[in-house]
Copies of this chain bind each other. A is one copy, B any other.
Amino acid sequence: MSAESLTILDIAREAGVSSATVSRVLSQHPNVRPDTFQKVKAVVDKYNYKPNSIARGLLQRQSHTLGIILPDIKHPYYASVFSAAQREAMSSGYVVQFYRLAYNSTITDDFINQLIERRLDGVLLCGGFIEPTCANDLPDVLHRLQRYMPIVTICPPITGLRCINIYTDLRSGVRKVVRHLSQLGHRRIAFIGATHETRSVGERQLGFEEEMAQLGLEPILLVENIHTPAMGETSVRRLLAEEGGDRAPTALVVVNDLVALGVLKGLRKLGISVPEEMAVVGCDNQFFSEYTNPPLTTIDLAPEELGLLGTRALLHAHDSNAASFNQARESTLIIRESCGAYLRRKIDVSAE
């Protein structure tokens, strides 16, 4: 397999120079005489010699490697963050290592140790595991990690943790949604969400409740462990069983687009048409949301931007003294058809 393992010394010998000179040639050091340069380069090319970046990293104390930790790369939101992070890292000569940490697990010392032993140059943490409201030692664990490498979190700010944090303000995002629905005339609005276990879900619920309160409306909540399309599909029936008849909601705010996918199917199976009989709004603006039937109104969280900015912040963490800051970004309401905003207009048009 790896028969090819020439070292810099082999090249030096063959070229009749010292290893230092070869090193200089390799790293484009200016102080090399052109003819020496050529001579060495010829040998390097002849043997197709590739320096060992591990050895170089050992000496320079950097691995040119970034870690990125998230719960599920198959989730389109995380895939977007990851994708953008990788691009940004790559364009600066860094490589990304992927670490998975399940939604419901907390970050442990053992896990942290892996990162430390790998001597990463920085770590991006995103969602899930850094979310549990129950994990009170989270700041401690992350502060320990931070003694070894800069970290950037992409999630709602964690109380007691001093680090770079970037996120999209979900709370105000959901408030926008509720306001929009109320402007369309809805009074009985329900929130289909997960339990508070993750803070970013809690933020959504909080935004929902705050805005409903401000509008003087009574919130309808179905808060269970709902986080897949399948769970969304079954949740609808339960919600309408609990809140039936007069009390039935006319609009649904769904915790994310993935779940909303199931909610739409659930409503379809119940013969409830969207948006005529029920308005539906998601959250996330995934690639598929434009293609649901009807196209899903949702809020855009700009995950790629978070990944890009997070990585950039990480790469600059050494030179910038601002080792800790919070950056909140605004979400964007994407109005499509599932909320019924275009309903009246459509009807008007057809009536003409």
Interface positions of A (Cβ within 8 A of B): 1-5, 48, 50-55, 57-58, 61, 63, 65, 72-74, 76, 79-80, 82-83, 86-87, 90, 95-100, 113-114, 116-119, 144, 146-150, 229, 233, 261-262, 264-265, 268, 287-288, 290-293, 295, 317-318, 323
Contact = CB atoms under 8 A, between A and B. Distances in A.
Contact of A58 (B48, B54, B268): B54
A150 B1 contact: yes
B100 A97 contact: no
A146 to B, nearest CB: 8
A2 B147 CA distance: 5
Nearest to A290: B229
B268 A293 contact: yes
Q: Tell me the interface secondary structure of chain A in the complex.
A: mixed
A120 to B, nearest CB: 10
Contacts of A148: 1-2, 4, 50
A233 to B, nearest CB: 8
Nearest to A118: B53
Instruction: List 3 tightest A-B contacts by C-beta distance, closest first.
Output: A293-B293, A261-B291, A53-B117
Contacts of A58: 52, 54-55, 58
A119 B53 CA distance: 7
A265 B149 CA distance: 47
Contacts of A96: 97-98
A117 B149 contact: no
Contacts of A4: 147-148
Given A73-B86, A95-B114, 9 more contacts: A1-B317, A2-B149, A54-B58, A74-B287, A76-B76, A97-B97, A261-B288, A265-B291, A291-B292
A268 B295 CA distance: 12
A79 B229 CA distance: 18
Nearest to A150: B1
B117 A50 contact: yes
B65 A97 contact: yes
Contacts of A146: 1
Contacts of A113: 50
B262 A147 contact: no
Given A53-B119, A290-B229, A98 B74 contact: no
A74 B80 CA distance: 6
Interface centre among A61, A73, A100 (most CB of B within 10 A): A73
A76 to B, nearest CB: 7
Contacts of A293: 264-265, 268, 292-293
Contacts of A117: 50-53
Contacts of A287: 74, 229
Contacts of A150: 1
B317 A291 contact: no
Contacts of A73: 73, 79, 82-83, 86
A51 B148 CA distance: 13
A291 B44 CA distance: 56
